[in-house]
Amino acid sequence: MSILSTSQVTLKYGGKAPVIRELSLSIEQGKVYSIIGPNGCGKSTLLKALSKQMKVPEGQVFYQEQNMKQMKPKQVAQKLSYLAQSNEPADLTVRELVAYGRSPHQSLLSNRKEEDERIIDWALKAASLKHLEHRNIEGLSGGERQRAWIAMSLAQKTDVLLLDEPTTYLDIHHQMEILELTRQLNRELSMTVLLVLHDINQACQFSDELIVMREGQIYARGVPEQIMNAGLLKEVFGVTAAVQRDEQTGRPYCRIIGRDRTADSTP
């Protein structure tokens, strides 16, 4: 069942050439997707369009069967949680930050209710942050801080979680921590997760499906075992690589050998 979809979406910034061109896509409920591709191919722009973070002048975006142009921002925030690529440290405790996730479910004048507090507690526990709830965000490690922002998104109690490069600037230990958390949320809550990732091997390891973008369009999509190969890496990323299977998981593992120097030659 499709929970998010686009039809012939074209997006651009100002008077520049389109970043995304006539893109149609369907996202099934309850899966983890990773969007991968070279810099500037439209990955983050697509995520913004799916979460109504930017206007879509050409084409349509749907949540289930509802056109998102007809949905108010508060309605969208009750259905989709979007976490941007970078978030500034906040002068708030972890619990105060997570509580902001309840905003889409409250009126301007209402105070948090008992149900809100229960959901905040749940989000803190889901992100393994209950023991840090009274710590200031600025005093946390990078991985803890990122988990706090994800917990805020969880407090929105949505069906879909969209994360734009959630592992950027984190060391490998904290990268795995965040990716394992997203997989856990998918498994335990049947949450649909869309990630923009740069690390191809992490995308292969943690995703049900890959969405590979190139020059504002979808080059390929499908399960990692079926679509990941040396030809794709050469065409999309301009590198030569050997694609092997991990002995434990059976997932593809890409060993990058170098740049594809044939791309440097002039016809």
pLDDT at 247 over 50: yes
pLDDT at 184 over 50: yes
- Under the banding of pLDDT at 50, 70 and 90, the label for residue 242 is very high
pLDDT at 265 over 60: no
Spatial distance between the Cα atoms of 162 and 186, rounded to a whole number of angstroms: 12
Do 32 and 162 form a contact (C-beta atoms < 8 A)?
A: no
Max CA distance (Å), the chain? 68
pLDDT at 266: 44
Tell me, what DSSP letter sits at residue 132? G
- Which fold would CATH assign to domain 2-228? Rossmann fold (3.40.50)
Query: Buried (b) or exposed (e) across 233-259, using 16+ Cβ within 10 A?
Result: bbebbebebebeeeeeeebbbbeeeee
pLDDT at 170 over 90: no
pLDDT at 113: 86
pLDDT at 264: 64
- State the average pLDDT over residues 230-251: 94
Round the average pLDDT of the chain to a whole number and report it: 92
pLDDT at 110: 67
Cα-Cα-Cα-Cα dihedral sign, residues 224, 239, 163, 194: negative
pLDDT at 86: 74
List residues bridging with 221 in a β-sheet.
211
- What tens digit of pLDDT does each residue of 196-239 get? 999 999 999 999 999 999 999 999 999 999 999 999 999 999 99
Which residues, 6+ apart, have CB-to-CB distance to 101 below 8 Å? 81, 120, 123, 151, 152, 153, 154, 155, 156
- What tens digit of pLDDT does each residue of 91-131 get? 899 999 999 999 998 876 567 788 999 999 999 999 999 99
- Under the banding of pLDDT at 50, 70 and 90, the label for residue 263 is low
Give the start-to-end residue ranges of the domains of the chain: 2-228
- Under the banding of pLDDT at 50, 70 and 90, the label for residue 90 is confident
- State the average pLDDT over residues 70-96: 89
pLDDT at 67 over 90: yes
pLDDT above 70 as % of the chain: 96
